[in-house]
Chain A
Amino acid sequence: MNNKEFISALSQKEGLLQRDAQKMVNLLVAELSSQFENGNTLTIQNFGQFEVKKKLERVVVNPSSGQRMLVPPKLVLNFKAYPALRERTQKGGES
């Protein structure tokens, strides 16, 4: 399901025009983005949790050249699916 299909599915469900649905999605995405920038955690029941996690700096080695590199720390948006969602996707995959 790409973006277009997603928008059309959403517009059908909400009874919106596709254009309006896209606008709303953009608005929501912008809001989410700013929330995550502030380091907030978003929990959706029966779906999952979005969380910004800090990854520490670490040393990595290129096995072929043996070169050691220091990878800087970074903030990563993490999604963790709740068991309910995992179960449903499992069923969908089987059928």
Chain B
Amino acid sequence: MNDQRLTPADLASALARRGSLPRRYCEDFVRSFFEVVEDGLVHDNLVKIKGFGTFKVVDIDARESVNVSTGERFEIASHTKVSFTPDAALRDAVNKPFVAFQTVILNEGTDTKEMEKLWDAVPAEEPATEEPATEAPAAEEPVAEKTVSEAPATEAPAAEEPVVEAPIVETPAAEEPVAEEPVVEVPVVEEPKPEAPKVEAPATPAPACEKPCRCHCWLWLLTACLFLLLGYCIAYYWHPVELPEFTCDEPETEIVEETPAAPADTVAVEAPQGAAAVAAAKNYPQQEDGDYWIVGELGTEKMTAGKTLLNMALKYYKDKNLYTYICTMNGITNPDIVPLDMELRIPELKDKKTGLTPIEVAEAAKNQ
């Protein structure tokens, strides 16, 4: 929908949609809307439409101008112009994206060179384009509020770059005592700074270079801080996880000695069972990094539509995370792909340390 070119027909169909009106009628209405505006302009020189704006026919007096290429003076005949001033509401609506910006008073030392560069890049936005081209560079216009002088010869040498795209405007103090506009566009005058030429040939890149450098410094510092923080977090989270794993990997014989340190009351009874579990575990495929030994078979389950490994783990162990043991038991490498009608052997699990089944472990945890 953005940046489209609309015709009255497009407008009419949009209007028809908005007001749910017949399209033919809307087209007719749009046409007569602008016809009436035109009539009003012809007869009254002014048309005011609430919420939209004011059309006005403005007289422009004859004035003298200079042909740029030949330097000849000639007179621009008096003529009229149709001006349109949007209503405050419409103006604000159009300017909505930029409404947050406000005029800022610049301090003395503010560097405007960055901005000039921007202007160089987009020279098309300059004013004085609605009139014939000859008018723009007029030397002295007593009628206009501003005296426009291109002056490429006088100002440009200061910088080696052709910066002076923006028309340089001065308050004509001598020729024109009455300045109608209190605010005049600034002459973007180049002040050749002493340190600039040392760095590089063109004057402007020097200050431009400094800023990005500082920017980069900040960026690097920020990234470094971020990495440090990230590293710290990772270290913090991994450390406690790794510790128990180390104890797990110790030889099995030590389990007996180790366990008394933890739950003192149950260990004495459970430890021999743990040893028995280890012996039984040798007959089955085992999961190296898990907490449980596979010591036997609880039964088999047929894989049918609607069943998942997670559901089975939940059913047999009350813990869906233990589905990995079902995978190990049946040699399933990818748990996402289990053939239909496959007979799955459900392993019987015993905790490596205490010899408890997963359900007992969960209950013990609940009781504590």
Contact = CB atoms under 8 A, between A and B. Distances in A.
Interface of A: 1-3, 5-6, 9-10, 13-14, 24-33, 35-45, 47-48, 50, 52-64, 67-77, 79-81, 85-86, 88-93
Chain B interface size range = 35 or more
B43 A24 contact: no
Top 5 A-B residue pairs of the complex, sorted by shortest distance between their CB atoms: A72-B101, A79-B84, A92-B42, A81-B82, A1-B40
6 contacts: A41-B3, A58-B185, A68-B105, A68-B186, A72-B101, A85-B41
Given A68-B105, A77-B91, A35 B185 contact: no
B125 interface: yes
Interface in B1-17: 1-8, 11, 14-15
Main secondary structure of the interface of A (DSSP, over half): mixed
B98 A72 contact: yes
Contacts of A27: 15, 18-19
Main secondary structure of the interface of B (DSSP, over half): mixed
Contacts of B183: 60-63, 69
A28 B30 contact: yes
Interface of B: 1-8, 11, 14-15, 18-19, 28-30, 32-53, 55, 57, 59, 79-84, 86, 89-91, 93-98, 101-106, 110, 112, 115, 118-119, 122, 125, 130, 171, 179, 182-186, 188
A1 to B, nearest CB: 4
Contact of A75 (B33, B42, B98, B171): B98
B97 A35 contact: no
Contact of B52 (A29, A61, A75): A29
B119 A9 contact: no
A6 B40 contact: yes
